[in-house]
Every structure is written in structure tokens, then in C-alpha cells.
Structure 1
Amino acid sequence: MKRCSVFMVLLTAFYFISCSTEKHNFPVNKEYWDVNDYDKVIFDLRYTYEGNETKPTFDNPEQRIVLEKLINPENYKKFLDDAKLDLNQKNQIASEFLSQWKDMNQIYNVTNTNNRYLYGKEMLEIWQFGLGLQLAAFDLKFDQVLANSKNVEDKELDDKIKPSIKKLIINYDDYLNLAAKENSFFEKEKETYARGIDKYFKELIQVYPDADYDRLLKKAMVMLERAESTTIKKPLKNLIALINAQKNNKAEA
């Protein structure tokens, strides 16, 4: 009887493990994920985890590959850099990836009763994946506007580009808002957040040095004044210095 009980326990455990594996069947063996892969994975992560079931995290050695695949920029670069695709096709794909990323942002945006993020690092890494994706998508949109313009110097072209740059800057500005939630992050997560400012905002300003970054400057100054963490303050100071240097360069040009 005892052997039978042990056997039943093992059989039940095996059943649940098998069901769990089958339930969350991520395409981790694929080298790159396309938009359809993202659609399926995001749906799984958002809607099929039950109760206290833990979602894949970087701390879980068996599941971290799911996150590494999810935030790999090579997934969208494979298509956006494909010479066989024309600008219209690339812009369409970029738009589809952006749509998936907006859904991705909901996966790990969860806090506990103490207002701490349960998946702070995971949420921030997904945010940063989106910052890089947005910049790549805007580059393509810019190229398409240029390709469709008869005169790259005309005012009509400028009128088409400026609103798009403004929208891009507003989206980056949203990332700065997370500084106001510094107490919701653990120290390691604050370091992840800080690296995001130093890396992606620097890239944005380097690629588009003539854009108006007053909005980001004001937001960075407000967040710096409110911040208590030196880990958060440092990248904000770096960003303020970078924007001021950019403004000085424009004035001297």
C-alpha cells in the first residue's frame, strides 16, 4: 500500500510538471523570434499564468532564456536591417514590433502590498528593449519620409519630421518618470534603470543632435530634485550635462 501511495504521488507530480511544460511552450530553440512568436509568447506570459505561479525571471537559470529571447534586439534588427525588404515593409514590421512591445510592458508591471516591483529588473529590461526599438523604428520612418520627399530642404519635410521626433522624445520622457518610483525598486534594479538612461538617452541625442530636448531637460531636473538615491541621481546629472552640452553646440554652430 505504501509503495502504491508513493507511486501515485510521483505520477501526480510528473503529470503536473508535464502539463506545466506543455502549457508554457516557448520557442526558445529558435534563433530569432518574429512578430508571430512575440504574439504567442506575450499572450502566454500575460494570460496563462495562474495564482502565485512565478513568471520567468533572470534569477531562474532554467527560465531566464525566455527573457533573454524576449528582449534580444537582434530579433527586430534581423528584419529591419534586411536588405531584401523595402522601406514600406520594414516600417510595417517595425510598427508590429512596437505594438507587441506595448503589450510586453504589461507582463512584469506588478507591485506587492509594499508597493515594491515583484519583477523590477525584468520590467526595466523590457522598457529598455522598447527604447532601442523605438529609435530603430523612427530611423526607418525618417528614411521613408526622406525617400518620399522631392526636396530634402523644404519646409514640408521639416513639418513631417518634427512631430515624429517630438513623439519619440515624449516616449523617452516616460522612462524618466520611473525615477519617481525609486522606492519601488531594489538597489540592483536602480542600477539597471540608471544604465538605461546612460545608454539609450545618449544614443538618442547622438543620433538626433539637432532635436529640441527641453522637455527631457526639465523632466530630468525635476526628477533629480526629488531623487534620494545616488544611483538614480548620477544618470540624471549625466543626462542634464549631455543636453546642456548639446544646446551649447547648437548655439555655437
Structure 2
Amino acid sequence: MADRVPETRSDWALRRLRTAILTGEFAPGTRLRAEELAERWQVSPTPLREAFQRLGGARLVEVSPQRGVRVAEFTLDDAADLYALRLRLEPPALRQSLRRSDDAHRAEIAAAHARLEAAHSLEDGAEAHLAFHAALLARCPSAWTQRVIALLAEHAQRYVLLGAQRFRSGRGPAAEHAALRDAALAGDVDGAVATLEEHLRGTLASVRAALAAAPRAEEPSLERATRKVRPA
């Protein structure tokens, strides 16, 4: 077995900051200061500044000479655009993936769902949620399609947490994930695709409701507590 490559300070800073954004630990609009985060996390400001630039390229943060670095805002237009693209790309990718599925792939899907069910923290839940959806699409023959969908899913993860359970209608995300797993393992391609479409549309509807219900808050700070919600 190959030795595991140790994580560099830059890699750690990128992973920690990305996780804080995806899990909602840092709310949209939060001003990010390298010196303040360096003191909090006991690291040098340099890898944090590098992480700002990399996450700016991924549009998870907004970097401005006037406003500094801030977590990207939530907007309904952005969410609608994300989910329109996901609905266009993911169902056909899932269909292609499941048509090429085999025992190894089905075992991968089952294991990914088990990890999602076992997640007990926001960080673990967010990563397991992304991994489960990626596992479903793992046999899609287009590597570029998988990469684009992974990027969209990562951005959508912040909105997933925003929707939370109280804004969901129908059977809910946990039941939809289980139905996706069951259809995939049974080779029910049409059923899996229909469930995925229901899942994505339901999440977008919950995000719309959450954004409509959210009052305009004061500018968030790094002292904001982590929200305790389950990934949808």
C-alpha cells in the first residue's frame, strides 16, 4: 500500500475554510480576515490568503479590493440557476451510470449511503452527502460531465443546508436518498431517475421557501455559531 501523502498547511487551510463555508459555519456575507482566522485556527495567515484566492476561483468567496473577502451570498437567482443545470445534467448522467452499473458499483452506492446515514456532524454529513450523489454517477462515461456536476453539487450544498427539514414537503430528503439507493441497487433506472428529479426539485422548493422566510440580518461575523441541520 502506498504511503499517504501528508497534508500541507495550504491544503489544511483550504479544506478547513471550504468546510466552514459548505456547512454554514460561516454565513453568506461573512467578512473573512486572514489574521483573525489565523489566530483562531493557530496557523499562518499565508495559507489562508492562498485559500481565499482558490475559493474565489471556485466562487465560494467573493474577493474585492473595496470589500475584502466575504463568503458568497445566497440569492434565489443563483439557486435557481444551479438547480436548473443540475436537473439538466444529473438525470441523464444517472441513467448512463446505472445502465453501466455492476456489483462493484452497487456496493459503492450502498456503502456511500451507509456513510450518509451514519454521519453525526455537519462536516461529515456534507461530505457524505456529496459522496453519495457522486457514487450514483460514478459509471457515467463522461469524466467532464462528472466534474461539472461535482462543482454544481458543491455550490448547491450550501443551499441544501439553508432549506433544512422544516421547509421540505413530500417524503423528505432522507427517504429520497433511501429510494435512490434502493432503485439503483435494484437496477430500476427509470425509478432512480424519477426520484433524483423529485429530490432536486424538492430541494430547490425548500430553498425558495427558506429564502422567502429569512429576514434581512445584520452583517454576519466570524463569531456566528454553526447551524445544526441535517443535509438534504
TM-score (norm 1): 0.24
Between Structure 1 and Structure 2, which shows a larger proportion of helix residues?
Answer: 1
Question: Highest Rg: 1 or 2?
Answer: 1
Give the strand-richer structure, 1 or 2.
2
Which of structures 1 and 2 has the larger relative contact order (alpha carbons within 8 angstroms, sep 6+)? 2
